[in-house]
Structure 1
């Protein structure tokens, strides 16, 4: 139900009754420490505005619901109609209790009946709004000795009012308990939120450190990659230089060997020339240096590839080969390269006997 509807209901509450309800509903108004009969007229608008706030209005609806249920317990045999409600009002029941009970039920039929009651009262008493009916509600109905029915009804309403106040106190206690539980849950939620924020900050810090380490690792890997590439380039350059130097060294050795073959010592002039022998495989023996009939040049295994590419094999008279020092593959390559006969020795003593025989 809308706030405007409840505003109409509150407008029908007499001033003195409103003072009682303010205390009962525990409504506080700014600027007024207490609401009493001296200041109610000045505070009335503020009191109604405070009562219309959602938190208070929820409790007030419950109050009217309980009050209306109490009335139903004694009059449940009577059907609720417009005429019965008009009669109830005429007998002295406060209008705000009647309308409040109907609207608090949130039953469409009862709400419709409340609207009809409002129109009927305005028409019957020829007033423009419901608040104009308050003075009538403030009049005391003089009790006549013969009017026992009115006396009985007044007594019944006092009982109902007392029971309603008791239930309202219980309801207020429940509301206070719910508010306490709500505050506790709110505080718990706040603490959990703070804990989650702390965990989030911690994870963000850990993520930042991990990202920093990742960047450092990537940079170190990049530097290592660049250093490896530079070292590979230098190694390749050094290998090329080494190959070039080896080629030059072999060439110089070959030139020296050729020079030795062409050279004839002065003291041997007129004598028979020694045979120029190319010995493949070094037996590590001085006999190869002191032979009287042979000039022996040693060709080591590492120099064989270069010799195959040059004409060294063709510049000697004989080619000897130490088969136990030269792999079969190398021996075959040498034999295919030269037209000269190749003398093979399976061991050094065999070669020694061959030299000694001349």
Structure 2
């Protein structure tokens, strides 16, 4: 419901009753230490303005809801609320702000419409321009029609209503106390949950920082290791090339020494029948080392280009190729370059049988 609607409801509260309600609702106004009968007319507008603030209006709406729910009027017994019944209720003495406040606090469309109809009917019936004028009309009528005896009876009736209102107010204060207690508990629970969440967040941030640091260290170490491996690979390749070159030179020197040491009239020992074989493709078997009739110089694929340039393949007796280890392109290159006898073996068992057969 809008603030303007509630402002209209508050305008129907008599001054004396507004003093009591301001105290009950704990409404405080700047410039007034306490709202009382002497200053209510000067402070009335400020009291209503303060009551319309959201933090107060929520509690005040609850007051009207409880007040209306605990009403002992016929409508509470299941009877349909009608406009005529509400007008009669007002004329019997029930405060207009309690009637309108109960209707608007329900926040049901049918009660809101009923409240509007009641306002229009009262304005038209009593020939006034606004609801606040009904307060003056009612107070004036009571003063004119009430003799001393009636005033005493009215006072007694008022005391009954006041006592009844006080009882309701006590219940309301008790309920408000329960709400405040629950609110305090929920506030403390929320604070604890926030602290737990903050601690968990801080812990996760610390773990994330540690993981990131370890990741950076691992990346740096891997990069360093990769660089070292590249250097080592280059050195190994260089050394293998040097070894291949030295092996080729050694084989050449061995052949030259054997040729120089041989004499025409000497009988060559059985070893002179040994053939110098260059085996392209390493079968990884000691048979090539233990053969009696053959001396093998095993070339790996990477050593073939250098052997071709150094004429190593031309200085041996035969060239054997393990076709399953040597790519076709390299085999063709060897065949085009070398004029020696070339034998090809498709697998190791074939090579083995050939050697053993002699």
Matches within 5 A, 1:54-93: 54-68=54-68, 69-72=70-73, 81-93=82-94
Structure 1's 303 and 167: CA in aligned 2 closer, same or farther, altered over 3 A? farther
The answer for unaligned runs of 5 or more in structure 2 is 274-289, 298-311, 319-350
TM-score, normalization by structure 2: 0.67
Query: Which one of 271, 274, 278 corresponds to residue 279 of structure 1?
Result: 271
Q: 2:182 maps to which residue?
A: 181
Q: CA deviation at 1:77?
A: 10
Structure 1's 132 and 217: CA in aligned 2 closer, same or farther, altered over 3 A? same
Report the 3-state secondary structure (helix = DSSP H, G, I; strand = E; otherwise coil) of the residue aligned with 2:71: helix
TM-score, normalization by structure 1: 0.67
Does 2:22 match 1:22?
yes
The answer to whether the 8 Å contact 2:16/2:37 transfers is yes
The answer to whether the 8 Å contact 2:9/2:100 transfers is yes
Q: Distance in 1 between matches of 2:64 and 2:252?
A: 123
The answer to whether the 8 Å contact 1:11/1:131 transfers is yes
Q: 1:49 maps to which residue?
A: 49
Query: Which one of 291, 295, 301 corresponds to residue 304 of structure 1?
Result: 295
Q: CA deviation at 1:66?
A: 4.2
Q: Greater CA radius of gyration, 1 or 2?
A: 1
The answer to whether the 8 Å contact 1:3/1:52 transfers is yes
Matches within 5 A, 1:230-245: 230-245=231-246
Structure 1's 72 and 107: CA in aligned 2 closer, same or farther, altered over 3 A? farther
Q: 1:323 maps to which residue?
A: none
The answer to whether the 8 Å contact 2:66/2:172 transfers is no
Q: CA deviation at 1:259?
A: 2.0
**Residues paired across the two proteins, number:** 295
Report the 3-state secondary structure (helix = DSSP H, G, I; strand = E; otherwise coil) of the residue aligned with 1:304: strand
Q: 2:127 maps to which residue?
A: 126
Q: 2:38 maps to which residue?
A: 38
Structure 1's 217 and 183: CA in aligned 2 closer, same or farther, altered over 3 A? same
Structure 1's 156 and 101: CA in aligned 2 closer, same or farther, altered over 3 A? farther
CA-atom RMSD in angstroms: 4.1
Q: 2:207 maps to which residue?
A: 206
Report the 3-state secondary structure (helix = DSSP H, G, I; strand = E; otherwise coil) of the residue aligned with 1:276: coil
The answer to whether the 8 Å contact 2:103/2:112 transfers is yes
Q: Distance in 2 between matches of 1:235 and 1:229?
A: 10
